[in-house]
């Protein structure tokens, strides 16, 4: 056809009389020309011995099928040719001729109309089909259609990507059960699909080409034939790996924090705004001598002031008391505002401090008491030695002896006064500091 067209009438650009033509137009053109020639031959040579005009329906039908209602123009062209040829031929121009032209036009219109309608329907179907196909092909979620025996019927590019294969053909060769981490799992999966008719977000671990596992959620329905027999399955696959990993990461972080809190050397108590205990760690259980279950929900009993460090009295089980140093910060617990109180058991430190204070007090008491007890006799010795010294009946040796007693006594008193004033304490501390 192509060769013939080119050889007969076509220019290089595929134009006939300046019109761009394709195969259909060319065929139509040929049949019309054939019809015109047939008319001339029939009327001038044969004088219309047979109903040759039936051949006119060939171009009219073709035009109607290909160009729809434009077929009417072909009918008119052929009609005019028929009228003119008859008019110039020896035959008489009867009403039959005009009648035939009308019939050509009507047939052309009807065929054209019906063809157009059918073409429009086909176009609509095609467009719809195309949009489904596009959706199927471009969906980022892998979509699959499989047979009951575990072979691919269809799948999209996202599926190829999900399973990490190079091409559709490569994936096409893989049997469905082999795509499951555990091939037996497919039986369980299809059992559920068939039981319910569908599964929604069915968690399945699938195996990629490189052997790695991908966590997915599969939503699928059964495919049945007209008899209601299950012939396969179709649905979508959602890659859940990232979400699952994030969830695991979150859980890991949560566990880390929990471990930190659980292993904290300080006791940690979380209370709500209502003062009720929400959480206690093991150290807090030990410090209060009660279990977490016993403490949860109870009122904490200490006023919690954010940012302040306060000393609190701890009452353990059995009434034993202790001292805790509590720091409070605002926090959130299970999505609600809460207070986090960390309590350090300073009972031992406190006791040690008290003991040191008591030791200091005793030392001070001892020092003062001793000093004062020395001063009184020294005052008396001083008084009498002064009286002796100032009496007139002493020789020089005796006076010198008394003077030595007085001087030494003054020295003792000075030592004690200095000790009372804390002089030696300070010197001792300084020496200690210089070491």
Partner 1 sequence: MRYTILIVDDEEAIHRLLTRFLERVTRHTFTVHSAENGKKGVEMYGKLASEGHKLDLVLMDLRMPVMDGAEATRRIIENYPKANIYLFTAYARTDIESDALKAGAKGTVSKYSDWNWTMGTIIDILEGGMEVGRQRSENRSQKTEIRK
State in angstroms the smallest separation of the CB of 365 from partner 1: 10
Instruction: Copy the structure tokens of residue 219.
Output: 């939503």
User: Considering the rule CB under 8 A, would residue 197 count as an interface residue with partner 1?
Assistant: no
CA nearest 83: which of 109, 111, 113, 105? 105
The stretch among 38-46, 170-178, 274-282, 369-377 that binds partner 1 (CB under 8 A) is: 369-377
Contact by Cβ (8 Å): 285, 292? yes
The stretch among 34-42, 59-67, 317-325, 375-383 that binds partner 1 (CB under 8 A) is: 375-383
Instruction: Copy the structure tokens of residue 390.
Output: 């100032």
State in angstroms the smallest separation of the CB of 413 from partner 1: 5
The interface with partner 1 within residues 401-420 (CB under 8 A) comprises 406, 409-410, 413, 420
The residue from 131, 195, 263, 379 that contacts partner 1 (CB under 8 A) is: 379
Q: How far is CA 405 from the centre of its chain?
A: 97
Q: What track of x and - describes contact with partner 1 for positions 20 through 39 (by CB under 8 A)?
A: --------------------
Dist CA 300 CA 75 (whole Å): 101
State in angstroms the smallest separation of the CB of 282 from partner 1: 48
Q: Return the CA Rg of the chain.
A: 57
The residue from 243, 368, 403, 423 that contacts partner 1 (CB under 8 A) is: 368
The residue from 380, 418, 424, 425 that contacts partner 1 (CB under 8 A) is: 380
Instruction: Copy the structure tokens of residue 242.
Output: 């990232």
User: Considering the rule CB under 8 A, would residue 292 count as an interface residue with partner 1?
Assistant: no
User: Considering the rule CB under 8 A, would residue 83 count as an interface residue with partner 1?
Assistant: no
Instruction: Copy the structure tokens of residue 170.
Output: 């490569």
CA nearest 177: which of 150, 213, 159? 150
Residues 156/160/166/169 CA torsion (nearest 10 deg): -50
Angle CA 278–282–286, to nearest 5: 105
Dist CA 349 CA 276 (whole Å): 29
The stretch among 94-102, 110-118, 162-170, 384-392 that binds partner 1 (CB under 8 A) is: 384-392
The interface with partner 1 within residues 323-352 (CB under 8 A) comprises none
Footprint on this chain of partner 1 (rule: CB under 8 A): 368, 371-372, 375-376, 378-384, 386-387, 406, 409-410, 413, 420
């Amino acid at each position: 056809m192509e060769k013939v067209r080119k050889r007969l009438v076509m220019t290089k650009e595929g134009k006939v009389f300046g019109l761009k033509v394709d195969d259909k137009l060319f065929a139509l053109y040929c049949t019309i020309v054939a019809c015109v020639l047939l008319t001339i031959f029939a009327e001038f040579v044969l004088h219309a011995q047979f109903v040759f005009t039936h051949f006119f329906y060939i171009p009219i039908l073709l035009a109607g099928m290909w160009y729809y209602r434009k077929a009417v123009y072909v009918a008119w062209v052929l009609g005019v040719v028929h009228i003119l040829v008859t008019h110039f031929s020896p035959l008489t121009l009867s009403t039959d001729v005009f009648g035939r032209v009308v019939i050509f036009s009507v047939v052309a219109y009807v065929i054209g109309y019906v063809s157009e309608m059918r073409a429009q329907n086909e176009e609509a179907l095609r467009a719809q089909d195309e949009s489904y196909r596009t959706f199927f092909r471009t969906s980022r979620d892998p979509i699959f259609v499989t047979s009951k025996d575990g072979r691919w019927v269809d799948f999209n590019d996202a599926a190829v990507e999900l399973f990490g294969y190079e091409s559709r053909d490569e994936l096409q060769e893989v049997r469905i059960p082999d795509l499951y981490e555990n091939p037996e799992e497919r039986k369980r999966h299809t059992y559920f699909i068939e039981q319910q008719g569908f599964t929604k977000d069915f968690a399945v671990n699938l195996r990629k080409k490189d052997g790695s596992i991908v966590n997915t959620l599969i939503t699928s329905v059964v495919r049945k034939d007209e008899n209601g027999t299950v012939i396969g399955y179709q649905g979508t696959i959602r890659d859940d790996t990232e979400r699952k990993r994030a969830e695991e990461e979150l859980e890991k972080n949560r566990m880390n924090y929990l471990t930190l809190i659980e292993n904290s050397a300080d006791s940690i108590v979380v209370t709500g705004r209502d003062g009720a205990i929400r959480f206690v760690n093991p150290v807090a259980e030990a410090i209060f001598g009660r279990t977490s279950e016993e403490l949860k929900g109870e009122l904490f009993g200490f006023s919690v002031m954010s940012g302040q460090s306060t000393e609190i009295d701890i009452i353990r089980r059995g009434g034993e008391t202790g001292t805790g140093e509590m720091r409070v910060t605002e926090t959130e617990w299970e999505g609600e505002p809460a207070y986090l109180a960390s309590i350090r058991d300073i009972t031992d430190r406190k006791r040690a401090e008290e003991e040191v204070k008591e030791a200091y007090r005793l030392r001070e008491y001892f020092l003062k008491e001793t000093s004062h007890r020395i001063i009184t006799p020294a005052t008396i010795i001083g008084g009498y030695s002064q009286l002796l010294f100032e009496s007139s009946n002493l020789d020089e040796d005796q006076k010198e002896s008394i003077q030595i007693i007085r001087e030494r006594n003054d020295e003792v008193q000075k030592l004690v006064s200095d000790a009372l004033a804390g002089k030696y304490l300070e010197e001792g501390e300084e020496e200690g500091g210089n070491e």
